[in-house]
Amino acid sequence: MLTAERATTRFRRFHRLRRTAALRGLFRETRLDPARLVLPVFIDANADVPVPIASLP
């Protein structure tokens, strides 16, 4: 069984290491920015004129 001291040292999250933007970038697991987003494109070979899809913004 783990003691309280061992449990806290075993699962440390290192908050102090993420103070600057550069260090936060090193520890970041998910990067969400416009360059990584995908815009869906639907093509209908039989359509002569582009028709907007109402359910998509």
Q: Which domain holds residue 17?
A: 1-28
Q: How confident is the model at residue 4 (pLDDT cuts 50, 70, 90)?
A: low
Domain assignment of residue 10, yes or no: yes
Domain assignment of residue 55, yes or no: no
Our count of domains for the chain comes to 1
User: Residue 45 belongs to what H/E stretch?
Assistant: none
Condensed to tens digits (0 to 9), the pLDDT of residues 28-51 reads 888 888 888 888 888 888 889 988
The whole-model pTM stands at 0.30
Domain assignment of residue 52, yes or no: no
For residues 10-28, average pLDDT = 75
Pick from 10, 9, 29, 8: nearest CA to 18: 29
SS3 annotation, the chain: CCCHHHHHHHCCCCHHHHCCHHHHHHHCCCCCCHHHCCCCCCCCCCCCCCCCCCCCC
Domain assignment of residue 9, yes or no: yes
